[in-house]
Structure 1
């Protein structure tokens, strides 16, 4: 029952649309608490607000005082809730009459609605007070059926089992959340649970995580974004970017990490299809040898089978240098360059850097050794375990394994 909103003025000053029996019972329930519960706590049980219940208690006190021939309020629960003078009471009543009928539902219309989220609280309320007031009376006051209440009590065992299942699932969610350093949101937690063999609805995971205050980490403004470092200088070059299977098309980029008062630079080579990071050297400089080392590491990761692979990068001076062109030609790699001034042509590599900084770099590293260790741990975790949304929530390594298995089946057929 919603006792707030447009009805508030009616309840304070005009004729209340609620039965007098209901109001009296609500006041009696509050007084039965003997100060152990607040107005708001009792009103919430019956679907109202503390201020509305307070006004009913005040009105009951005034009626009792008039019956005794006095002006003051009676009863400890209502004392001090309203000015004692009649002039003040008239002003309060005048304010209430201003809102009479404003937005009220039709007289005699239903107050409780099917599916109301507060029904469980009302059933609990009936169970708590049934010994004092009886089920029939409380159900009549609250406007609910006794049969509905008894159906609810009959399902107590099933609800207890569901709560136990939810508690066990929340514990497993927290374990997954901790294992992934607090970075997983609803979708990745759901994928992880399904990977463990759980048949569970994603909306249920969302509800339990929200109830438990478990939130995935989102990209935010960090110390890495405060001081931009220029990692590329424009240069000329061709462009030939197409979608190919894993191992046939890669991209490269450079980023930087703050270490104390200096910078550590990191280059990567990323498989465009599987999102696997194939090479990731780190150095305190960003000369051409840094990207050459990344390419060499990627070739080793692929076992040297890179002839005809397309390497896509921006037009940074490192990637347009003669030394990088020579190494690429030696391995049989064809280079592809993005457009000048466009950050979208290498967005895949940029997304890797965002994930790295969001999930592994919450503070400024104090030593190069510390930075290298954290970055290495995250990149290996990323390749082997971190579920990727564009890969059907598989990790890059799992995706490549599935692709190889499907390719062998196709050849066998």
Structure 2
């Protein structure tokens, strides 16, 4: 018997009686905006007669050719001739002016989120929803699966007033458990109204998505959503080890296993030995030596651990990352540290990167005070216990 395949929002739209309402559509998308045969969403919509007149690109650019914190410089899309408007690091009035200048009356969002608060595609969506609300532009989300599944959430929320940034605009858990479409509904019923805004929102749901399943069970092709998330296991690991971007540990950028490989010049054999004693659920730790080709410790051979995720359903990314952090801080107290505040951050008083990633200063302050961080993990919780039916589009639990 052939397993059922999930049909994404774009596939539902293309198979329906109409395309998308609007006379001038701007598509907020990138290389993850694909049809099941791996064609581009933009090409499929244009071929179906949708009046797409502009493209909007996020971090990594429309084609995904650049690393984190960068965007491409192309101003038009050669296959279609459509103009490209760069949204990366634009928000507020500047983004609203960009939207108005584009002349579109509808923005359509189609990108693959990761299910992690500090992954920026959802905040590009959030910023563009704000801009659309300010300019009277409709907003449509073509929904896609949450790669980590939609049954559980975990990790801390975000103190928006103190630590809001482009890696977190709204108070959602670190592993949020929602699809992009559900997040859009949450933002439009909770966060935008708090600012006196509300967008004319339409979400095109998927069909055949099992919220308890990870991405592999959708039977959709995996398209790496950014250069350093090559596999689904990387996505699961990143949900926790992405926190190490704010430390002097290498998070494996510049290796073939980013976010699954963690290390530093000061790490020795005690770390893998300690971690193997923890019997952390769903993962096995392996002693590794590696030489990053770029980013932290580029060209330097260093030691660390590789996370081998053995059971995704049992694996808790946040708990695992805290276990690693606890061990490193205990074993190397004079050498492990957090990266200092980056004065280029806007505004600079946001301080330490790890605080923005965690959502508050509590994690850093616990380590600096010599306390274990394991107690900071709020643990996993059922999605339906936190969000209501004004947000959720797909059945969870007893709903």
TM range (shorter): under 0.3
Structure with more of its chain in helix, by fraction: 1
TM value normalised by structure 2: 0.21
TM value normalised by structure 1: 0.21
Structure with greater contact order relative to length (CA < 8 Å, sep ≥ 6) = 2
